Amino acid sequence: MATTTKLTITAEKDKSKKFEALVNPNSISYKSSIKYDELGGQTAGTFRPGFKFNSFGEETIDFSLLLDGTGMFETKKDVADLIFALKAVCYYYVGKNHEPNVVMLNWGKTLKAIRCRLRNMDINYKLFKSDGLPLRAEVSLSFVKHDPKSTDVKDKTASSPDLSHLVTVKAGDNLPMLCEEIYNDSGMYLEIARINNLVNFRQLTPGMELLFPPIER
């Protein structure tokens, strides 16, 4: 019998803080957005609106988890304890980090090490003991993908030569490759090396920032 892979939410900097779904979600919603600058023009009494690409917006992942304290699913646990454990991973303020945890979402081939932050957590209690203690809850979670290395003025993924790009170098990057991505011309590397005062363009250090301005050719 095949083993069921459970969805997990794990703190990036403290792998001991991990929440495993009691029951996997039956749906996951992905949302992506693009930002545009609104343009407008008026000719002979007519208004012609338009939009110019600005940057890629945020990407969000939404799903719900069932928390059950009736003992119907595996080990019986208090719903309050389950909620506390979930919040300890992705919601509570971590003093040494001065912010809540950045977390990794994992679930088989659907969610593969997705780095994100919690945006919203909605708790809907569905079943109670006679004394009012909750026995079951549905928790709706909304995460936003988190990639602080993407620091371009207009987003590196735009790869547009008429926009200024401030690119943070990652391991494996080289100047001709970055020029190919942005200008569709790897031969621009000497000009970019000059603009950024690079003594040796072959030795890029991860974490350094390089400016790729619009260049007329």
More confident call, 191 vs 55: 191
Decide if pLDDT at 83 tops 70: yes
**pLDDT grade for 217, boundaries at 50, 70 and 90:** low
Mean pLDDT of the chain: 85
Q: What is the pTM of this model?
A: 0.65
Domains of the chain: 8-40+48-145 (2.40.30.200), 156-212 (3.10.350.10)
State mean pLDDT over 19-29.
95
State pLDDT tens for residues 116-143: 999 999 999 999 999 999 999 999 999 9
3-state secondary structure of 78: coil
- How many whole angstroms separate alpha carbon 90 and alpha carbon 99? 10
Report yes or no: 99 and 117 within 8 Å, Cβ to Cβ: no
Phi, psi of 186 (to 5 degrees): -65, -20
State pLDDT tens for residues 149-164: 554 434 444 445 556 6
Nearest to 156 by CA among 174, 171, 168: 168
Q: E strands within 40-177?
A: 42-43, 46-47, 50-68, 93-94, 99-100, 103-107, 111-128, 134-145, 165-168
